[in-house]
Chains A and B, each alone.
Chain A
Amino acid sequence: DKATNPSNRQEDWEYIIGFCDQINKELEGPQIAVRLLAHKIQSPQEWEAVQALTVLEACMKNCGRRFHNEVGKFRFLNELIKVVSPKYLGDRISEKVKTKVIELLYSWTVALPEESKIKDAYYMLKRQGIVMF
């Protein structure tokens, strides 16, 4: 909550890194973290969602393969798909948030080719015309 607080005036890296550290300390850290992050990323408040995406990106860089495995499941990827798809939340989410979600998905298809479900999700969005470029 502190790392994504809408009243933060800027991204608070103390709390963001604290969140990453907590994931690394706990056995079920990655599973719990992706559920919390999915909820924040779907926030109708743009700034809360943007901060959640920054936290997600920080976790991908700092929390290793256990976290990658969890992000690389359709269970989490479907929550990101809901954000960009007009059939789900897409019409209510800002372009800034949707663009960032697509940029993150693309970056992981390149950086984490072994997480094949990320590619499946990204190319499905391309086929459906949700990712245009």
Chain B
Amino acid sequence: TVSFHDDSDEDLLNV
């Protein structure tokens, strides 16, 4: 689950 302090992210997609 995502929490308020979760700053995780994924990589930018390439098109």
- A residues neighboring B (CB under 8 Å): 27-28, 31, 73-75, 77-78, 81-82, 85, 87-88, 117, 120-121, 124-125, 128, 130
Contact = CB atoms under 8 A, between A and B. Distances in A.
Interface in B1-15: 2-4, 6, 9-15
B10 A28 contact: no
Contacts, number: 40
B15 A27 contact: no
Does more than half of chain A's interface fall in helix, strand or loop, or is it mixed?
A: helix
B3 A78 contact: no
Does more than half of chain B's interface fall in helix, strand or loop, or is it mixed?
A: loop
Interface of B: 2-4, 6, 9-15
B12 A120 contact: yes
Contacts of A120: 12
Contacts of A88: 13, 15
Contacts of A121: 12
A115 B4 CA distance: 18
Contact of B2 (A28, A77, A78): A28
Nearest to A26: B4
A93 to B, nearest CB: 14
A86 to B, nearest CB: 8
